[in-house]
Amino acid sequence: MRRKKAPSKIPVMPIAIGSGVVIVAIVILVNYYLDQTTLSGQRFGDQLAQIQSDLKNETQSFDQHLTQYKNGQISKDQMLKITDEHILAVKNILPRYEDLKAPDAFKPSLQLFMLSTETQIESDQTLRDWVVTGDNATSAKSDQLLQQSFQYEMNALQSYESAKTGGSQ
């Protein structure tokens, strides 16, 4: 009589341990990636908020000077100097947007924030022309551009919130 070969035993325990280690490693890597993405988004949000805060402070200061000019408390020459300094300050803020490392979901909102700031600069330059000429049509054009800038900013905020909550843009 011939002996039957016993079926070969596959080492189940080492395979199970190996599979478990691989699964745990994948979970750790996925969690790490998600944490890094969250941190990147948080860092971007903080930096963007700082830029917006600096822009708001600069604009509020300029608006106070503009009110003083309209009330006759500041001369035309002083206002032109203040306006030139303000435009330069806002132009210096603009490149800070480009330095941000925006996660893909936030790129549309970043573009809108930049467009808002660019339009604000255009409004301020038109306002400067009004200070020089006193032409009310120029002042109205400046106001119109400022309103457009505000609308871009509102769209940027909406896009930002949508990206932050994971919604579609």
Domain limits of the chain? Answer: 47-164
Q: Are 14 and 53 in contact (CB under 8 A)?
A: no
Tell me the CA distances in angstroms from 159 to 41, 93, 102, 113, 121, one per residue in order: 14, 21, 13, 10, 22
Mean pLDDT of 78-94: 97
pLDDT band at 31 (very low <50, low <70, confident <90, very high): confident
Instruction: Give me the pLDDT at residue 165, please.
Output: 82
Percentage of the chain exceeding pLDDT 90: 63
Reported as a single tens digit per residue, the pLDDT across 122-152 is 999 999 999 999 999 999 999 999 999 999 9
CA–CA dist 46, 52 (Å, integer): 10
pLDDT value at 168 more than 50: no
Instruction: Give me the pLDDT at residue 28, please.
Output: 81
Give the range with max mean pLDDT: 9-23, 32-46, 52-66.
Answer: 52-66
Pairwise pLDDT comparison (121 vs 10), residue with the higher score: 121
* Phi, then psi, of 4 in degrees rounded to 5: -85, 140
Percentage of the chain exceeding pLDDT 70: 86
- Joined tokens for residue 169: 């843009």
Instruction: Give me the pLDDT at residue 169, please.
Output: 37
**Distance from the Cα of residue 107 to its chain's centroid:** 8
Reported as a single tens digit per residue, the pLDDT across 47-64 is 999 999 999 999 999 999
